[in-house]
Amino acid sequence: MKHYFGPNGKLSQSFADYEVRGPQNEMAEAVFDAINTGQNLIVEAGTGVGKTLAYLIPIFESGKSAVISTATKVLQHQLLEKDIPVIKKVTGLNPDVSILKGRSNYLCLLRKEQFMLNPLFRSKRDIPVWAEVKAWLSFTEAGDFSEMEEVPVNHPILTSLNADRNYCTGSKCPFYRECYFYRARKKAQKSQIVLVNHHLLFADLSVKETNFATILPLHPVLTVDEAHKLEDIATSQFGEMLTARMIAVLLGQLPGELKFRHTEKFRELLEDPVFDSDMKFRQRGVVSEEMKEKLLALKPGLETLRKDLTALDDDTFEMRDNLIRRIGSFFDFLDTLENQDFVKYYDSNSGARQFRSVPIDISSKIEQAFSGNFETIIMTSATLSVRKKLDFFKNRVGLKDAKSCLLASTFDFKNNTILYVPKTLPDVNQDAFRPAAVEEIIRILNLTEGRAFLLCTSHRNVSCFADELRARTELNILKQGESSAPGLVGRFIMEQNSVLVGSFSFWEGIDVKGEALSCVIIDRLPFPQPDEPVFKARADRMENGFFGYSVPLAVLQFKQGLGRLIRSNEDRGILCVLDNRVLTKRYGKIFLESFYPVPLTRSLDEVKKFLAQS
């Protein structure tokens, strides 16, 4: 790979500003070797390594077909529109590359026709959105909603138009030949490289969404970027879900007489308080025995409905097979209620409960799915290791025998940043912590003139700190929830003296280079909530759930948060952890030893000196 990444390599010859990086070449060599020998490989590539080129070029050079999975659609588009054109130019190779997304990202032509006959708007504000959608309809060739940058994919108009599988009749649809989703799927089947996201990848592997299942056996190589998100996404996709609305929507799609008869039968069951919540805010809890009994009471009615549907002629009722399949998924959920290898819980949101069940051990599911579909699996992220070892991540994703490759960041953390842990703050679990933390935060922000991310572990702290800072400083305080995440980040970059206060959605995936971000403050070590049902079920099965599960999860989140600061060779700034347990508790060393080597201080005067050198 040196003929690409070396001092006189093709990248240096093609781009005057290309920086030769030893770790990048090392990763490329490891990836190329893994692909050619059919081995699995896990790479932690620190910030600045340039991991995208380090796995794309070996894939191109191998000539093998590959699925590349990312955690976000943003990275999907970056690969397709920015990185892959560069690779094609440098290598002189031109394999077919396509992007495939989930159904909700594509226009359904049948639903569009139905909507245009009777447009339904929530308010007058939807009218200009519909005008933009109609203009897009006149020129779109892919039917991909992302082509409309100003209309979010979850806008109610788009959810009324998307290719939701609950309304899909497949080949029986009059628009099947023109269907944007199926056309994207067919294109992907013929492509040498297919870009997907983790949700779609695991929806396919779990056989919950089989609409591109024929792609995977044809592609021997799987590359998983942003792999630190893998376990959480696999957990959700290998799990089952049931809500009253899912049943109600299905009942509403039944043909005349069946609809009347079965809607009446289910009315009392669905009106049971078990499906409702008196909480307006999000609440999560374990499914109780009483809840379980009432959920299982749905089985007889669902079985009768399934038999009635099976008796219908699918030529006269095109939705028959769709509804039977969905009833089967309801039974899949209900069957897990008696399975001790699943954790059963509910989420309450906006007055309705969503019941979920997920496997307690997800690693065996991932291992089985991967081993049956791919010859080589490459996983990479900037944050996978704990104490310079990948054992925890390997065990969580079922790849215990994969080769390991740990590559440090190419950025100069030692000279370009300093870690400040205030000496005088009380313990984070004491009532005095929050007001004392506010005072400390103000002192720090006065030195940095804002230009900071304040990353919190709870929405309560987000509100508390943001409100206090607005009342007591002249800084430009941007608070999570008051605008979209991209909108807040854009304002943070453009507006002077800004402080962005947010919770976990801002701990990762945010890339701000330059002086706009000169300080990252973390309110406390990001341990999982001990009573969160999925975490608790998994921790309870371990000999030492705290050190074996809770601490490693918190360490990886900690690394993601602090990693927001240094995003280029020129970046400098302050890292601040307000939680003194990072120094006073035995487990604190694990956090510090897992991050990049940075100078530590407990003195605000040292922080002043460091800033004066900038």
Q: Which of 336, 308, 343 is nearest to 324 (CA)?
A: 308
Q: Mark 252-291 as b/e (b = at least 16 C-beta within 10 Å).
A: eebeeebeeebeeebeebbeeebbebeeeeeebeebeeeb
Tell me what the mean pLDDT of segment 408-422 comes to.
95
Neighbour order of strands in the sheet with 600-601: 476-479, 498-502, 452-455, 519-522, 573-577, 417-420, 600-601
One-letter amino acid of 575: L
Mean pLDDT of all residues in 15-29: 93
Q: How many CB atoms lie within 10 A of CB 400?
A: 11
Q: pLDDT digits over 525-545, tens only? A: 999 999 999 999 999 999 999
Q: Output phi, psi for 364, to 5 deg.
A: -65, -35
Give per-residue pLDDT as tens, 174-222: 999 999 999 999 999 899 999 999 999 998 887 643 444 455 557 899 9
* Least confidently predicted of 265-269, 297-301, 422-426, 608-612: 265-269
Could you tell me the pLDDT band of residue 274, with boundaries at 50, 70 and 90?
Answer: confident
Residue spans in the chain of domains classed CATH 1.10.275: 240-359
CA–CA separation, 295 and 274 (whole Å)? 8
Which residues fall within 8 angstroms of residue 527, CB to CB, at 6 or more apart? 457, 550, 551, 553, 554
Beta strands 97-99 and 403-407: pairing type? unpaired
**Which pLDDT value is given to residue 282?**
52
Measured between alpha carbons, how far is residue 214 from residues 193, 208, 273, 343, 391 in Å? 14, 14, 42, 31, 32
Model confidence band, residue 272 (pLDDT cutoffs 50, 70, 90): confident
Handedness of CA 469, 475, 478, 482 (dihedral sign): positive
Left (φ > 0), alpha (ψ -120 to 50) or beta: where does 239 sit? beta
Mean of pLDDT values over 325-341 = 95
Average pLDDT, the chain: 92
Residue found under tokens 């600045």 = 48
Residue 107 is given by DSSP the state B
What is the percent of the chain with per-residue pLDDT over 70, rounded to a whole number? 96
pLDDT attached to residue 352: 78
Kindly tell me if the per-residue pLDDT of 224 is higher than 90. Answer: yes
Task: Please give the pLDDT value at position 277.
Answer: 67
Helix (H) or strand (E) holding 102: none
Write down the pLDDT at residue 154. Answer: 87
Which residues of the chain form CATH 3.40.50.300?
A: 27-96+192-233+372-407, 413-612
pLDDT at 146 > cutoff 50: yes
Residue 208 pLDDT: 43
Mean pLDDT (whole number) for 438-456: 96
Q: Higher model confidence: residue 73 or residue 420?
A: 420
Identify the CA nearest to 235 among candidates 398, 425, 68, 405.
Answer: 398
Instruction: Single out the residue of 385, 193, 354, 231 nearest to residue 285, CA to CA.
Output: 354
Instruction: Assign domain 240-359 to a CATH class.
Output: mainly alpha
CATH of 413-612, one of 3.40.50.620, 3.60.60.10, 3.40.50.150, 3.40.50.300: 3.40.50.300
pLDDT digits (tens, 9 = 90+) for 464-509: 999 999 999 999 999 998 888 888 999 999 999 999 999 998 999 8
Residue 614 has pLDDT above 90, yes or no: no
Task: Reply yes or no on whether the pLDDT at 280 is more than 50.
Answer: no
The mean pLDDT of 79-86, rounded to a whole number, is 93
**CATH class as words, domain 27-96+192-233+372-407:** alpha beta
> 387 vs 267, which has greater pLDDT?
387
